Amino acid sequence: MCLLGGVSRLDDKVLGYVVLVGSLLGIVCYFYLVFISPWALLVVQVSAFLAVAAILLIMAWIGYTLATTPPPVPLEEFVAEPSMEEES
């Protein structure tokens, strides 16, 4: 086992399989909740709300960042003008 920064490659594989199995179980549970359970309408409504809320929160974060970040310094200030000593 090769240790890189305290994490072995085996741990990465195990984590990958855990994420894979967890995702597949999530799909199966969501399928059950949407198509079979008596709470299908509520599940769809909550899912739609959370999806739209997540997108709007990301947009709000972008807007906040744009509103509170100072404007960049103009490029002209970075370009050094040649001095009189350099020309002669």
How does pLDDT run along the chain (88 residues), one tens digit per residue? 555 556 677 799 999 999 999 999 999 999 999 999 999 999 999 999 999 999 999 999 999 999 999 988 887 766 755 566 555 5
pLDDT at res. 26: 97
pLDDT of residue 36: 97
Residue 6 — φ and ψ, nearest 5°? Answer: 85, 0
Contact 39, 30 (CB under 8 A): no
Q: In the beta sheet, which residues pair with residue 7?
A: 4
* Domain housing 43: 35-68
Question: Could you tell me if residue 79 is inside a domain?
Answer: no
- Percent helix, strand and coil across the chain, each to the nearest 5: 75, 5, 25
Asked if the structure places residue 88 within a domain, the reply is: no
Instruction: Evaluate whether residue 13 is within a structural domain.
Output: no
Residue 41 has a pLDDT of: 97
Count how many domains the chain has. 1
How confident is the model at residue 9, as a pLDDT?
75
